Structure 1
Amino acid sequence: MSRQAYLRILVYTASIIMYIGNMFYMTWVNRNNPVVNEQVEQFKSLELRFFTTWTYLLQVGYAIFALGCDLFIVKNAKNKNYSLPSPITDFREIIFSGLVWPCTMVVFTIFWGLYSYDRRLIFPEFLDAVIPPISNHVIHTMIVPVVLCEVVLRPRKTPENHARNVSQLTLHLCVYFSVLYFTYIERGIWLYPIFKKLFGTIYFVFAIAAIAALFYIFYYIQWPITNMIHGSKKKVEKKKAKLEKKVK
């Protein structure tokens, strides 16, 4: 367990450096190569309303919180009876399982899927001047290896009841879709060009429904993957029982 904790600490530290370093890099690029036009200014004024931004900040926040958790675990490694308070472990689990994992996988899938088909639907050319290629990959690609490392390095049990995680994810989506629609009402624009093309047609409803469904699909996919790597809940309990007998 301590070995996995050390590896997680390494991953969290590297990801925090990567995320924060990317923020400074993007700021530096925009200061040294200022691009002034209506589209760029509009994007900058709405940057915090993009779902990718929400997911990026969510990953940064989770990495910092999880790093703190594992530092305490390593610090108390000699104490065999030590464990983090259940409210902290529960919070860590619900944030990762219910938000970080599904949001990350959906951002990666939808962004690169649409980008490959027609980048103008999700990432118009003018954004290249604001978000350099390296930053684009940090924001939309590197977020996946980070969550995959979490799944591989942190054994988890499939919850007996998914209601809490699913409810949190549903609330998160409702809030975001409200922001998306509010932006259209307030500014008369859609944050993502694809919605501008689909709005007013039946395909708009289908697109929203499909995106929402994708979140829940990815949420449930994480458990078979986790069980495949770490074993089912019963196997985990058997391993713990064997270890306890050896200690006795």
Structure 2
Amino acid sequence: MGALTTLFHLAMVVHYGYGIKVYLLDLRPPEEILKLRNIGYGPFKYLTFWDMLLQFTYFSFAFVNDMVGTNTPVHHKQSVTQRVRDYMFSTVAFSAGLFVTVSFWGLYNIDRKLIFPEIFDSFFPLWLNHNVHTTPGVGALLELCLIQHSFPSRTSGFATVAFFTLIYLSWVCFIAYQTGHWVYPVLANLIMPARVAFIGFMMVLMGVFYFIGESIHKRVWGEEEEKETQKQKQKQKQKQKIK
């Protein structure tokens, strides 16, 4: 399993790295799309691009940990890189990855004009669309099932996800205030009360994905964690008897 997970992490690093390169340097959108894209800090205004950078950073860190860190279960001594890897994944990497995939394809199937108009098909290749919008959710679920991670306390984990979400939504509102341009067409088409409700719903949804990740992790790895807990309790009892 160790070699498999290392290859998986490396493949994801290459996958996201190449996708970021194409996204930033190789796309040739029509003039009307280019103007919109360049408003408000270019691609850095999109959550999908934030997520690409986040996933690339996470899987790079996970690969480095495979090389020089540890992959030990809970209650065992863990390297700093493993602890950072686990915290990063269990909070923002998993939640943001699943959120991007579910929200994009959900809106796409409701009305693609709200999120990815047909004109994008002329310059945005299908493989890159899946790189940006499908792989984050699929990759996060595979990572969750392939590797046991140590989850933080629910309060700490949820607070981290909430903070990340608040930072991004504040960024979106700042860009709208500064430029008069809403990053996503769906926000531009809503009246203010509906816009506030939509943003609030997105924040709640990000939190829900954190709890989904925690729940799936317990289903997949709960038995292993319980065994480790029992082993540690037995060791502690033996130490107490010796004393």
> How would you bin the TM-score normalised by the shorter chain?
0.7 to 0.9
1:37 matched to 2:19? The reply is no
Amino acid paired to 1:193: P
Q: CA deviation at 1:17?
A: 1.4
**Is 1:173 aligned with 2:170?**
no
- Worse-superposed segment, 186-195 or 120-129: 120-129
Q: 1:183 is aligned with what amino acid? A: I
Deviations 1:81-128 (A, max 9, x none): x9543x433321221111000111111111000101111111123333
Contact 1:55–1:104, Cα closer than 8 Å, also in 2: yes
1:193 to 1:162, Cα distance in 2 relative to 1, 3 A? same
Q: TM-score, normalised by structure 1?
A: 0.82
Match of 1:95 in 2: 88
**Which residue number corresponds to residue 220 of structure 2?**
229
Identity over aligned residues, as a percent? Answer: 26
Matched, 1:16 2:13: yes
Secondary structure of the residue aligned to 2:189 is: helix
Correspondence for 1:210: 201
Secondary structure in 2 aligned to 1:198?
A: coil
What is the CA–CA distance in structure 2 between the aligned matches of 1:180 and 1:226, rounded to whole Å? 31
Q: CA RMSD in A?
A: 2.6
Structure 1: distance between partners of 2:167 and 2:115: 21
Rate the CA distance shift 1:38–1:166 in 2: closer, same or farther, 3 A. same
* Separation in structure 2 between the aligned mates of residue 88 and residue 29 of structure 1, nearest angstrom: 33
Q: How much has 1:136 moved relative to structure 2?
A: 0.4
Residue aligned with 1:123, SS = coil
| Closer/same/farther in 2, CA of residues 183 and 26 from structure 1, 3 Å limit | closer
The 5 Å alignment of 1:1-248 reads: 3=1, 5-26=2-23, 29-30=26-27, 34-45=28-39, 46-73=42-69, 83-85=77-79, 87-159=80-152, 161-200=153-192, 202-232=193-223, 233-238=225-230
What is the CA deviation profile of residues 180-224 of structure 1, one whole-angstrom value per residue up to 9, with x for unaligned ones?
Answer: 011111111110000011132x22222111111111111011122
Q: Report SS of the residue matched to 2:181.
A: coil
Q: Deviations over 1:58-83 (max 9, x none)?
A: 00000001101011247x99xxxx95
Task: Tell me the residue number matched to 2:241.
Answer: none
Question: How many aligned positions are there?
Answer: 230
Q: In structure 1, how many angstroms separate the alpha carbons of the residues matched to 2:178 and 2:25?
A: 31
Find the aligned partners of 2:138 and 2:232 in 1 and give their Cα distance: 28
Check 1:26–1:179 CA distance in 2 against 1; reply closer, same or farther (3 A cut): closer
Deviation at 1:148, TM superposition (A): 1.4
| CA distance in structure 1 between the aligned counterparts of 2:191 and 2:119, rounded to whole angstroms | 22
Amino acid at match of 1:205: V
Determine the C-alpha separation between the residues in 1 that align with 2:137 and 2:232.
30
Which sections of structure 1, spanning at least 5 residues, go unmatched?
244-248
